[in-house]
Structure 1
Amino acid sequence: MILKEGSTRGFRAYTAKHLNDLLERAGLPEEERLRIRAVATVLPFRTNAYVVDQLIDWSAVPEDPIYRLVFPQADMLPEADVTRLAGLLQSGAPNAQIQAIATEIRMRLNPHPAGQLELNVPKVGTEPLPGTQHKYPETVLFFPKQGQTCHAYCTYCFRWAQFIGEPDLKFASDDVDGLIGYLKEHPEVTSVLLTGGDPMIMGEPVLRRYLEPLLQLEQIESIRIGTKSLAYWPQRFVSDPDAGDTLRLFASVVEAGKNLAFMAHFSHPREMEPPVVEAAVAGILGTGAIIRTQAPLIRSINDESGLWAAMWRRQLTLGMVPYYMFVERDTGPQDYFAVPLARAYGVFRDAYASVSGLCRTVRGPSMSATPGKVCVDGVTEIAGQKVFVLHLIQARDPELVGRPFFAHYDPEAVWLTDLRPAFADHFPFEREAVAPVPTA
């Protein structure tokens, strides 16, 4: 897709200062709007005119799934916290007081799950390399400093802590030389993932500064870009002023012999309905890049097997590769969005069973937990015990990848830490045994 001369970006962002006006559009009563604004003092809010005008069905608000995907809900946080903050907002309390309470609440929401700040940060010598994670031997994640926002924020985002303006919770870097130096010292790394935020918020000249040095490293086989831009601002690849240059940059990555994997987040079939999405996908695929799709299973937004089957079929039709169904992570408003693992497996299985083999490239439901990506393979009965069957798709310890293990069935469990090992006194990734679950 070649950009027409004279095109302009036309992007308009909406933030918390616009929230009340947008909620009035939904016809919500004043008390409800106040409580939603209270939640937005804790969790970040950002959307844009494309999402608001093209994706949300305002006649169906507040049940509309795209509305729930980007707008805070009054019951996302404990009622006592929301009531406290709403009272401060209503009384015109100083912003410093409101932010102090908001920070206190945030610290209870596990802002950095899976030890992101402690366990995954690599070092050059004795010095940590900021904005970089090296969790699996072959893959390094890099968080470009200029890519630490998004075209719109998802209410379920596990990286919400990146967007709230707390310097101690920020995780980003513009040290490209440091990254390249680290990669040269670690020849086992063959794949680099640019993530955020959303790297595609960056203009082409800035994105080029991060991508081009990677092309000089023979060890790098693949470069991935994690992004929600195809759902929230597909114009990035069609009509933005640097859309053409961006696609040419993608083509140069492929021409350099690297696999360019565009890791696209689609949470609902409606995000793929506008014609501009099809044009954007065609433009990216025309560069030789591969688009792989992923999203978490989110209660009240996409927790129906028919929606997932429809997403995978549409993605296949457009030339994309279904890749992952994730489990909502143990951070932020997990209690609001989480789907129990047993039900998550049922949603995945029913959707998987209703699509062709070409869609069955997808894996899940998968938990990105501390030891690695844990996949729920099923629920079965062994030796009279009902159990979850699981395996690690990825692991800190590569020896554990692909080895099945078992957990006692718990219909309420929503995360790995809710499970107890079956037929063993500890899980394969645990160094110390945990107390066995009493049998009836």
Structure 2
Amino acid sequence: MPHRVRFVKDLEEIPLSVEERERLLRVSEKFPFFCTSHYLRLINFNDPSDPLRRVVVPDEGELEPWGRVDPSNEANYTVMEGVQHKYDSTVLVLASNKCAGLCRYCFRKRLFLTDEKREERLRDVKALVEYLRGHPEVTNVILSGGDALMLSTSRLRELISEVAKVPHVRFIRLGTRILSYWPERILNDPELLEVLKKYSLPERRIYVVTHFDHPREITPEAVRACHLLFKAGVQILNQCPMISGVNDDPGVLAELFRQLASMGVSPYYVFQCRPTVGNKPYAVPIERGYQIFETARGRVSGVAKRARFVMSHAMGKIEIVAMTREHVIFKFHRAARNQDTGKVLVYRRNPQAYWLDDYTELVEEIPLLDERPI
């Protein structure tokens, strides 16, 4: 790539005590550690509970038996290598199998696991385009991974230009964590900005869906990179999971929403941490998460409170919409089966629930009030 960053993959290169490093080596043997020098400089290693440290430094709790390798059953929706088609209008492409850093709570860490690393990325662009042309219901394509912006600029140009030729694809999304881990990827590559400017048009936009977890990740470099993306005609959204010890605090989450809005970045989704293998120390129970989320939203203006609190379940994107003294209420924000979209699920509360499957007492299931065509 035409710009340089130092990738750190050895725990010995970060300031840990000898005893702590030895303990954490057991974790990194199963769940690898890697990060950029840019992000490591943001961490206060004198603070064991520093939130950015929590993001990238291994935790012994990751070895606790918990979760599944593919908790959202992405394999069920994989239609060809590196391509998923879960929602009728959206195709998700695992364009890359690389990231600039491995978030400890990654839901797709099957791509990086030492003992069962999987190769799922797209290789055949022509086959992707043929699939899209054969599915006129598809209006948008997500290039993700891994991280879409870990691709070379020439590979991105190839992917975007070929997808853009499909007439019924109205917009393209690029899923990336680069703005947090490596904003220089954007700052130092004018060719990338030219590619984005060429294909982000008034009638067919490119969206960058970025991932800031904590206000301290929004560095001056990240702000400048966002500004350049806006100048290239790109729209920017932010999504992040709620992570224990990182942003499970109403004040932190509210400040994240404020900073994003002040930059012109729309808060988009806050995700329930997926029950992926190794994720137990990072997960927040759903009901506590909902209280944190709503408290944070209550502290910001409308522009900053556009995020939704959702979980990416195998059945669809399910929004946590309300809670009473006895019940928690979910709604299918988008369902894998179209007839389920908009359906409301009312469950008896379970403060220990981390995923929809942990709720056992369904009180009521309410479809859209009028299922006749509108």
TM-score, normalised on structure 1?
0.80
Alignment match, 1:393? 333
CA distance in 1, matches of 2:72, 2:4: 38
How big is the shift at 1:52? 1.3
How many correspondences in the alignment?
A: 367
Q: 1:47 aligns with which of 35, 52, 61?
A: 35
Q: 1:201 offset after TM fit, Å?
A: 0.9
Matched, 1:199 2:156: no
Residue 75 (structure 1) shift = 2.6
Match of 2:111 in 1: 162
Partner AA of 2:232 in structure 1:
T
Matched residue, 1:13: 7
In the aligned structure 2, how far is the partner of 1:160 from the partner of 1:410?
28
Shift of 1:109: 4.6
Name the counterpart of 2:59.
73
Highest Rg: 1 or 2? 1
2: CA distance, partners of 1:333 / 1:284? 34
Of 249, 252, 263 in structure 1, the residue corresponding to residue 209 of structure 2 is 263
Contact (CA 8 Å) 2:31, 2:114: kept in 1 or not?
Answer: no
Which of 284, 297, 307 lines up with 1:339 in the alignment? 284
Distance 1:388 1:257, change over 3 A: same
2:344 aligns to what? Answer: 404
* Paired AA for residue 269 in structure 1: P
Contact 2:30 2:115 (C-alpha < 8 Å) held by counterparts: no
User: Which digits, 9 at most, give the CA deviation of each residue in 1:406-430, with x for residues without a partner?
Assistant: 0110111111110124334x797xx
- Shift of residue 165, structure 1, vs aligned partner: 5.3
Q: Is the 8 A contact 1:187 1:219 kept in 2?
A: yes
Match for 2:74: what amino acid?
A: Q
- 2:324 is paired with a residue whose SS is strand
8 A Cα contact 1:378 1:388, kept in partner: yes
Match of 1:132 among 49, 58, 83: 83
Checking the alignment, whether the CA contact within 8 Å between 2:319 and 2:331 is kept in structure 1 is: yes
Three-state SS of the structure 2 residue aligned to 1:252 is helix
One-letter amino acid of the structure 2 residue matched with residue 121 of structure 1: T
Mark the CA change 1:132 to 1:8 in structure 2 (over 3 Å): closer, same or farther: closer
How far apart, CA to CA, are the structure 1 residues paired with 2:171 and 2:241? 23
Q: Which residue of 1 aligns with 2:50?
A: 64
Instruction: Write 1 or 2 for the structure with the bigger share of helix.
Output: 1
Look up the SS of the partner of 1:224 in the other structure: strand
Q: Distance in 2 between matches of 1:422 and 1:271?
A: 39
SS in structure 2 at match of 1:75: helix
What residue is the counterpart of 2:370 in the other structure?
none
Alignment partner of 1:405: what SS? strand
CA contact (8 A) 2:85 2:91 kept: yes
Q: CA deviation at 1:168?
A: 6.5
**Which of 324, 329, 332 does residue 380 from structure 1 map onto?**
324
Q: Contact (CA 8 Å) 2:29, 2:114: kept in 1 or not?
A: no
- 1:33 maps to 21
Pairwise CA distance, 1:402: 2.0
Does 2:352 align with 1:352? no
Q: 1:422 and 1:113, CA in 2 relative to 1: closer, same or farther beyond 3 A?
A: closer
Q: Secondary structure at the match of 2:363?
A: coil
Structure 1 contact 293–322 (Cα < 8 Å) conserved = yes
Contact 1:387 1:422 in 2 (8 A): no
Q: Distance in 1 between matches of 2:363 and 2:315?
A: 20
* Aligned partner of 2:249 among 304, 307, 310: 304
* Matched residue, 1:87: none
What do you get for the CA RMSD once the two structures are aligned? 1.8
**How far 1:360 moved relative to its partner?**
2.1
Counterpart Cα distance in 1 of 2:366 and 2:68: 23
CA distance in 1 between counterparts of 2:319 and 2:353 reads 14
Distance across 2 between alignment mates of 1:215 and 1:422: 44
SS of aligned partner of 1:193: strand
Q: CA deviation at 1:301?
A: 1.2
Partner of 1:282: 227
Structure 2 counterpart SS, 1:322: strand
What CA distance in whole angstroms lies between the structure 2 residues aligned with 1:163 and 1:328? 18
Using the TM superposition, give the Cα deviation of residue 31 of structure 1 relative to its aligned residue in structure 2, in angstroms: 3.1
SS at match of 1:255: coil
CA contact (8 A) 1:231 1:271 kept: yes
Instruction: Give, as a single letter, the amino acid of the residue that structure 1 aligns with 2:353.
Output: A
Q: Which aligned segments of 4 or more residues in structure 1 are displaced greater than 4 angstroms? A: 165-168
Unaligned runs of 5+ in 1: 1-6, 79-104, 123-128, 429-440
Partner amino acid for 2:351?
A: P
- The answer (yes or no) to whether the contact 1:44–1:160 under 8 Å persists in 2 is no
Name the aligned partner's letter for residue 112 of structure 1: D
Cα distance in structure 2, aligned partners of 1:336 and 1:157: 12
Match of 1:121 among 78, 88, 96: 78
Q: Which runs of 5+ in 2 are unaligned?
A: 368-374
Distance 1:165 1:379, change over 3 A: same
Q: Deviations over 1:149-203 (max 9, x none)?
A: 1111101101111123567632112111111000111000001000100010112
Corresponding residue SS for 1:211:
helix
**AA in 1 matched with 2:12:** N
